[in-house]
Amino acid sequence: MFGSSGFVSGPQDSWARGLSSAQAAEWFVDCFRMRMDDDQVWCGAEHHGYYFASAFEKMREFLIFCNLAVDNGVVPSTLSWDVVLKKAEDLILYAFEKSDAQEKYGQENVFAALTGGRSLRASAMSVYGFGINGEPQSTQFKNAMANYPNVESTLFRTKAYFGRVGGMDKWEKLLAAMKRATEE
């Protein structure tokens, strides 16, 4: 870990400072997308098989990410889950690598978070509790992966999985949009 409270210096949600609601939502979705790409490229999809997953499996991965972000204080209380999930409809199915982050945000350096800057990678490490460089999975991550059902009809029976991150109805809409986009 970098900082005493996680992988960033200062509050875990400091990445959102100075961003509008729409910018913060998009940055948060990009944080998830970059972590999925990093896992594919650097870890051989050891933690997530995102690029070979169904729309439901991708949505479930994002749901776990969002809930862990809440658990670990990575999202500010002002983050609008409505806006996050709307942005996710347009972005979540597409890869987002470091060069994309550099083009879009001007930089992506995990060490920027140590000096009060933003880093998609550092924030994702704070969400999951481990990095991409061969670190063991955090207990919290393992538990979440085991506890969130990987069957659509079972997951959508329990509103509690969705309550802190926008509500079940909005996640059902996200999944429907993802399925339409991939024609599942």
Q: How far apart are the C-alpha atoms of 108 and 144, rounded to whole Å?
A: 27
Mean pLDDT of the chain: 85
The model carries a pTM of: 0.88
Comparing 130 with 1, the larger pLDDT belongs to 130
**Does residue 183 register a pLDDT over 80?**
yes
Residue 7's pLDDT is: 53
For residue 34, is pLDDT > 70? Answer: yes
Q: Annotate 61-113 with DSSP letters as a single string.
A: HHHHHHHHHHHTT-S-TT--HHHHHHHHHHHTTS---HHHHHHHHS---GGGG
Q: What is the Cα–Cα distance from 95 to 71, expressed in whole angstroms? A: 25
Do 119 and 112 contact (CB within 8 A), yes or no? yes
Tokens of 63: 């749901």
Classify residue 26 as left (phi > 0), alpha (psi -120 to 50) or beta. Answer: alpha
CA distance 88 to 62: 9
The band of 39, judged by pLDDT with boundaries at 50, 70 and 90, is confident
What pLDDT digit, counting tens, does each position of 81-100 carry?
A: 999 999 999 999 988 988 99
CA distance 176 to 19: 29
